[in-house]
Structure 1
Amino acid sequence: MADIGRALELGGTAARDALTALWDRVGDTGDALHRCTIAHHLADLQETVAEELRWDRHALAAVADLGDDRLQRHHAGLRVRALLPSLHLNLADGYRRAGDVERARHHVAVAAPLAAELPDDGYGSMIRDAITRVAGLLDSGSREPLVVP
Protein backbone atom coordinates (compact mmCIF):
# COMPACT_ATOMS: atom_id res chain seq x y z
CA MET A 1 0.00 0.00 0.00
CA ALA A 2 2.95 2.31 0.63
CA ASP A 3 4.15 1.72 -2.92
CA ILE A 4 0.69 2.62 -4.22
CA GLY A 5 0.72 5.84 -2.20
CA ARG A 6 4.15 6.76 -3.53
CA ALA A 7 3.01 6.08 -7.10
CA LEU A 8 -0.02 8.33 -6.66
CA GLU A 9 2.16 11.15 -5.36
CA LEU A 10 3.90 11.23 -8.77
CA GLY A 11 0.72 12.38 -10.47
CA GLY A 12 -0.30 12.13 -14.12
CA THR A 13 1.52 9.86 -16.55
CA ALA A 14 4.24 9.02 -14.04
CA ALA A 15 1.63 7.80 -11.57
CA ARG A 16 -0.06 5.75 -14.29
CA ASP A 17 3.26 4.17 -15.29
CA ALA A 18 4.20 3.40 -11.67
CA LEU A 19 0.78 1.90 -10.91
CA THR A 20 0.90 -0.17 -14.09
CA ALA A 21 4.27 -1.55 -12.98
CA LEU A 22 2.78 -2.37 -9.58
CA TRP A 23 -0.16 -4.11 -11.28
CA ASP A 24 2.29 -6.17 -13.33
CA ARG A 25 4.10 -7.12 -10.12
CA VAL A 26 0.91 -8.00 -8.19
CA GLY A 27 -0.80 -9.69 -11.15
CA ASP A 28 -4.37 -10.79 -11.68
CA THR A 29 -4.25 -13.16 -8.71
CA GLY A 30 -2.26 -11.16 -6.17
CA ASP A 31 -3.55 -9.64 -2.95
CA ALA A 32 -7.13 -8.53 -3.57
CA LEU A 33 -6.75 -5.27 -1.63
CA HIS A 34 -3.73 -4.31 -3.70
CA ARG A 35 -5.45 -5.26 -6.97
CA CYS A 36 -8.60 -3.33 -6.09
CA THR A 37 -6.69 -0.24 -5.00
CA ILE A 38 -4.31 -0.20 -7.96
CA ALA A 39 -7.09 -0.77 -10.50
CA HIS A 40 -9.33 1.84 -8.87
CA HIS A 41 -6.62 4.49 -9.14
CA LEU A 42 -5.47 3.40 -12.59
CA ALA A 43 -8.99 3.89 -13.90
CA ASP A 44 -8.82 7.57 -12.98
CA LEU A 45 -5.54 8.01 -14.88
CA GLN A 46 -6.65 6.66 -18.25
CA GLU A 47 -6.99 8.73 -21.40
CA THR A 48 -10.00 6.89 -22.83
CA VAL A 49 -13.31 5.84 -21.35
CA ALA A 50 -12.76 2.31 -22.66
CA GLU A 51 -9.49 1.98 -20.72
CA GLU A 52 -11.06 3.58 -17.66
CA LEU A 53 -13.87 1.03 -17.76
CA ARG A 54 -11.38 -1.81 -18.14
CA TRP A 55 -9.65 -0.78 -14.91
CA ASP A 56 -12.94 -0.12 -13.12
CA ARG A 57 -14.01 -3.68 -14.00
CA HIS A 58 -10.68 -4.97 -12.61
CA ALA A 59 -11.33 -3.08 -9.36
CA LEU A 60 -14.81 -4.53 -8.96
CA ALA A 61 -13.57 -8.04 -9.79
CA ALA A 62 -10.81 -7.72 -7.20
CA VAL A 63 -13.18 -6.60 -4.46
CA ALA A 64 -15.11 -9.85 -4.97
CA ASP A 65 -11.98 -11.63 -3.67
CA LEU A 66 -11.53 -9.25 -0.74
CA GLY A 67 -12.76 -10.14 2.72
CA ASP A 68 -13.50 -7.83 5.61
CA ASP A 69 -10.70 -9.43 7.63
CA ARG A 70 -8.08 -8.51 5.01
CA LEU A 71 -9.48 -5.01 4.60
CA GLN A 72 -9.53 -4.42 8.36
CA ARG A 73 -5.86 -5.37 8.65
CA HIS A 74 -5.26 -2.31 6.47
CA HIS A 75 -7.95 -0.02 7.96
CA ALA A 76 -9.70 -1.03 11.16
CA GLY A 77 -13.46 -0.88 10.99
CA LEU A 78 -13.71 -0.67 7.20
CA ARG A 79 -15.91 -3.24 5.49
CA VAL A 80 -15.86 -4.41 1.89
CA ARG A 81 -19.49 -3.39 1.51
CA ALA A 82 -18.43 0.24 2.00
CA LEU A 83 -16.22 0.08 -1.12
CA LEU A 84 -18.99 -1.13 -3.42
CA PRO A 85 -20.96 2.12 -3.91
CA SER A 86 -17.90 3.93 -5.26
CA LEU A 87 -16.89 1.05 -7.52
CA HIS A 88 -20.38 0.77 -8.99
CA LEU A 89 -20.61 4.56 -9.31
CA ASN A 90 -17.40 4.61 -11.33
CA LEU A 91 -18.73 1.92 -13.65
CA ALA A 92 -22.08 3.68 -14.00
CA ASP A 93 -20.39 6.92 -14.96
CA GLY A 94 -17.98 5.23 -17.36
CA TYR A 95 -20.72 3.30 -19.11
CA ARG A 96 -22.80 6.48 -19.30
CA ARG A 97 -19.97 8.37 -20.97
CA ALA A 98 -19.42 5.41 -23.32
CA GLY A 99 -23.09 5.54 -24.30
CA ASP A 100 -24.03 2.19 -22.73
CA VAL A 101 -27.13 3.44 -20.92
CA GLU A 102 -28.38 -0.01 -19.91
CA ARG A 103 -25.18 -0.96 -18.09
CA ALA A 104 -24.91 2.52 -16.60
CA ARG A 105 -28.44 2.30 -15.18
CA HIS A 106 -27.70 -1.16 -13.80
CA HIS A 107 -24.69 0.11 -11.84
CA VAL A 108 -26.62 3.17 -10.57
CA ALA A 109 -29.34 0.78 -9.38
CA VAL A 110 -26.76 -1.30 -7.52
CA ALA A 111 -24.84 1.67 -6.11
CA ALA A 112 -27.76 3.70 -4.75
CA PRO A 113 -29.00 1.32 -2.02
CA LEU A 114 -25.42 0.45 -1.04
CA ALA A 115 -24.59 4.15 -0.71
CA ALA A 116 -27.60 4.62 1.56
CA GLU A 117 -25.73 2.43 4.06
CA LEU A 118 -22.63 4.66 4.08
CA PRO A 119 -22.13 6.89 7.11
CA ASP A 120 -23.60 10.37 7.05
CA ASP A 121 -20.22 12.01 6.63
CA GLY A 122 -18.37 13.85 3.88
CA TYR A 123 -17.45 10.70 1.97
CA GLY A 124 -20.91 9.18 2.17
CA SER A 125 -22.52 12.45 1.11
CA MET A 126 -20.11 12.82 -1.82
CA ILE A 127 -20.85 9.31 -3.11
CA ARG A 128 -24.63 9.66 -2.71
CA ASP A 129 -24.56 13.05 -4.45
CA ALA A 130 -22.46 11.69 -7.32
CA ILE A 131 -24.85 8.76 -7.81
CA THR A 132 -27.76 11.21 -7.98
CA ARG A 133 -25.89 13.37 -10.48
CA VAL A 134 -24.97 10.38 -12.68
CA ALA A 135 -28.62 9.30 -12.68
CA GLY A 136 -29.63 12.82 -13.72
CA LEU A 137 -27.02 12.89 -16.47
CA LEU A 138 -28.35 9.54 -17.70
CA ASP A 139 -31.87 10.93 -17.76
CA SER A 140 -30.72 13.93 -19.78
CA GLY A 141 -28.71 11.81 -22.21
CA SER A 142 -25.48 13.65 -21.33
CA ARG A 143 -22.15 11.97 -22.00
CA GLU A 144 -20.16 14.82 -20.48
CA PRO A 145 -17.68 13.95 -17.71
CA LEU A 146 -18.96 13.98 -14.14
CA VAL A 147 -17.34 16.73 -12.14
CA VAL A 148 -16.89 15.76 -8.51
CA PRO A 149 -16.43 18.75 -6.20
Structure 2
Amino acid sequence: MTNAALQWVPSHTGLLPRWLDAMPDGSWFAMQVPGNFDSPSHALIRAVAAEGPWASALDGVLRADPVHDGAGYLDLLDSAGFATVAWETTYLQLLAGEDPVLAWVRGTGLRPALATLDAADPTGGMTAAFEADYAARLRKAYPSGPHGTVYPFRRVFAVGRKR
Protein backbone atom coordinates (compact mmCIF):
# COMPACT_ATOMS: atom_id res chain seq x y z
CA MET A 1 0.00 0.00 0.00
CA THR A 2 1.20 3.49 -0.76
CA ASN A 3 -0.43 6.64 0.55
CA ALA A 4 0.45 9.95 -1.12
CA ALA A 5 4.06 9.00 -1.83
CA LEU A 6 4.30 7.86 -5.45
CA GLN A 7 4.01 11.41 -6.81
CA TRP A 8 7.45 12.10 -5.30
CA VAL A 9 9.08 9.15 -7.11
CA PRO A 10 10.29 10.26 -10.55
CA SER A 11 9.00 7.91 -13.26
CA HIS A 12 7.03 5.82 -10.77
CA THR A 13 4.65 4.79 -13.55
CA GLY A 14 7.60 3.10 -15.23
CA LEU A 15 8.65 1.39 -11.99
CA LEU A 16 5.21 0.18 -10.93
CA PRO A 17 4.95 -2.65 -13.50
CA ARG A 18 8.19 -4.18 -12.12
CA TRP A 19 7.03 -3.84 -8.55
CA LEU A 20 3.64 -5.32 -9.35
CA ASP A 21 5.22 -8.18 -11.28
CA ALA A 22 7.24 -9.13 -8.20
CA MET A 23 4.09 -9.53 -6.09
CA PRO A 24 2.69 -13.05 -5.62
CA ASP A 25 -0.65 -14.15 -7.05
CA GLY A 26 -3.51 -13.30 -4.73
CA SER A 27 -1.75 -10.31 -3.19
CA TRP A 28 -3.31 -6.87 -2.99
CA PHE A 29 -1.97 -3.47 -4.03
CA ALA A 30 -3.59 -0.20 -2.92
CA MET A 31 -2.53 3.35 -3.65
CA GLN A 32 -3.63 6.93 -3.57
CA VAL A 33 -1.95 10.03 -4.92
CA PRO A 34 -2.96 13.67 -5.18
CA GLY A 35 -4.44 14.47 -8.57
CA ASN A 36 -4.41 18.24 -8.39
CA PHE A 37 -1.40 19.11 -10.53
CA ASP A 38 -3.64 20.94 -13.02
CA SER A 39 -5.46 22.89 -10.30
CA PRO A 40 -4.73 26.63 -9.98
CA SER A 41 -2.64 26.07 -6.84
CA HIS A 42 -0.17 23.89 -8.71
CA ALA A 43 -0.40 25.52 -12.14
CA LEU A 44 0.43 28.85 -10.48
CA ILE A 45 3.53 27.39 -8.82
CA ARG A 46 4.83 26.47 -12.28
CA ALA A 47 3.81 29.83 -13.76
CA VAL A 48 5.53 31.87 -11.04
CA ALA A 49 8.57 29.56 -11.19
CA ALA A 50 8.97 30.29 -14.90
CA GLU A 51 9.05 34.07 -14.32
CA GLY A 52 11.21 36.43 -12.32
CA PRO A 53 14.78 36.24 -11.02
CA TRP A 54 14.29 32.68 -9.71
CA ALA A 55 13.40 31.16 -13.11
CA SER A 56 16.86 29.78 -13.83
CA ALA A 57 17.18 28.28 -10.33
CA LEU A 58 13.80 26.54 -10.68
CA ASP A 59 14.24 25.36 -14.27
CA GLY A 60 13.45 21.64 -14.35
CA VAL A 61 12.62 21.41 -10.63
CA LEU A 62 8.83 21.15 -10.96
CA ARG A 63 7.08 18.38 -12.87
CA ALA A 64 3.84 19.34 -14.60
CA ASP A 65 1.86 16.18 -13.81
CA PRO A 66 3.76 13.37 -12.13
CA VAL A 67 0.67 11.16 -11.70
CA HIS A 68 -1.92 9.44 -13.90
CA ASP A 69 -5.64 9.88 -13.61
CA GLY A 70 -7.79 7.00 -12.36
CA ALA A 71 -8.09 5.46 -15.82
CA GLY A 72 -4.30 5.51 -16.20
CA TYR A 73 -3.73 3.57 -12.97
CA LEU A 74 -6.58 1.19 -13.81
CA ASP A 75 -4.88 0.37 -17.10
CA LEU A 76 -1.45 0.08 -15.47
CA LEU A 77 -2.62 -2.36 -12.79
CA ASP A 78 -4.85 -4.31 -15.17
CA SER A 79 -1.93 -4.72 -17.58
CA ALA A 80 0.12 -6.12 -14.68
CA GLY A 81 -2.50 -8.84 -14.07
CA PHE A 82 -4.52 -7.22 -11.31
CA ALA A 83 -8.31 -7.11 -11.00
CA THR A 84 -8.53 -3.40 -10.28
CA VAL A 85 -10.92 -0.71 -9.17
CA ALA A 86 -9.85 2.92 -9.57
CA TRP A 87 -11.63 6.15 -8.75
CA GLU A 88 -11.13 9.83 -8.09
CA THR A 89 -12.54 12.01 -5.33
CA THR A 90 -12.33 15.75 -4.84
CA TYR A 91 -12.38 16.83 -1.21
CA LEU A 92 -13.45 20.40 -0.55
CA GLN A 93 -11.18 21.60 2.23
CA LEU A 94 -12.33 24.68 4.09
CA LEU A 95 -9.15 26.50 5.05
CA ALA A 96 -8.85 29.31 7.57
CA GLY A 97 -6.31 32.02 8.17
CA GLU A 98 -4.26 34.39 6.08
CA ASP A 99 -3.09 32.89 2.77
CA PRO A 100 -4.41 29.44 3.72
CA VAL A 101 -3.79 27.83 0.33
CA LEU A 102 -0.17 28.96 0.47
CA ALA A 103 0.11 27.42 3.94
CA TRP A 104 -1.41 24.17 2.60
CA VAL A 105 0.87 23.81 -0.42
CA ARG A 106 4.00 24.69 1.57
CA GLY A 107 3.76 21.15 2.93
CA THR A 108 3.07 19.55 -0.45
CA GLY A 109 3.59 20.75 -4.01
CA LEU A 110 5.58 23.86 -3.12
CA ARG A 111 8.30 21.95 -1.23
CA PRO A 112 10.66 21.33 -4.20
CA ALA A 113 10.59 25.01 -5.22
CA LEU A 114 11.16 26.27 -1.68
CA ALA A 115 14.03 23.86 -1.05
CA THR A 116 15.70 24.89 -4.31
CA LEU A 117 15.26 28.61 -3.65
CA ASP A 118 16.52 28.29 -0.06
CA ALA A 119 19.66 26.54 -1.35
CA ALA A 120 20.18 29.10 -4.14
CA ASP A 121 19.75 32.12 -1.83
CA PRO A 122 20.46 31.39 1.86
CA THR A 123 19.46 34.96 2.78
CA GLY A 124 15.84 34.04 1.96
CA GLY A 125 15.17 37.09 -0.18
CA MET A 126 14.42 35.14 -3.35
CA THR A 127 12.17 32.70 -1.49
CA ALA A 128 10.22 35.55 0.12
CA ALA A 129 9.76 37.34 -3.21
CA PHE A 130 8.65 34.13 -4.91
CA GLU A 131 6.14 33.39 -2.15
CA ALA A 132 4.78 36.95 -2.21
CA ASP A 133 4.13 36.74 -5.97
CA TYR A 134 2.62 33.27 -5.64
CA ALA A 135 0.44 34.24 -2.63
CA ALA A 136 -1.03 37.22 -4.50
CA ARG A 137 -2.03 34.96 -7.39
CA LEU A 138 -3.47 32.37 -5.00
CA ARG A 139 -5.68 34.98 -3.33
CA LYS A 140 -7.24 35.74 -6.72
CA ALA A 141 -7.66 32.07 -7.63
CA TYR A 142 -9.05 31.08 -4.21
CA PRO A 143 -10.94 34.04 -2.74
CA SER A 144 -11.84 33.91 0.92
CA GLY A 145 -15.54 33.46 1.72
CA PRO A 146 -17.55 34.06 4.87
CA HIS A 147 -16.44 30.75 6.41
CA GLY A 148 -12.92 30.49 5.01
CA THR A 149 -11.29 29.56 1.72
CA VAL A 150 -12.55 26.55 -0.19
CA TYR A 151 -9.71 24.47 -1.56
CA PRO A 152 -10.70 21.55 -3.82
CA PHE A 153 -8.22 18.72 -3.40
CA ARG A 154 -8.48 15.84 -5.87
CA ARG A 155 -7.23 12.35 -5.00
CA VAL A 156 -6.72 9.34 -7.27
CA PHE A 157 -7.18 5.84 -5.80
CA ALA A 158 -6.56 2.35 -7.15
CA VAL A 159 -6.92 -1.03 -5.47
CA GLY A 160 -6.22 -4.34 -7.13
CA ARG A 161 -5.76 -8.04 -6.42
CA LYS A 162 -3.24 -9.97 -8.47
CA ARG A 163 -4.91 -12.71 -10.47
TM-score by structure 2 length? 0.25
Report the structure, 1 or 2, having the larger strand content: 2
Report the structure, 1 or 2, having the larger helix content: 1
Q: Which has the larger radius of gyration?
A: 2
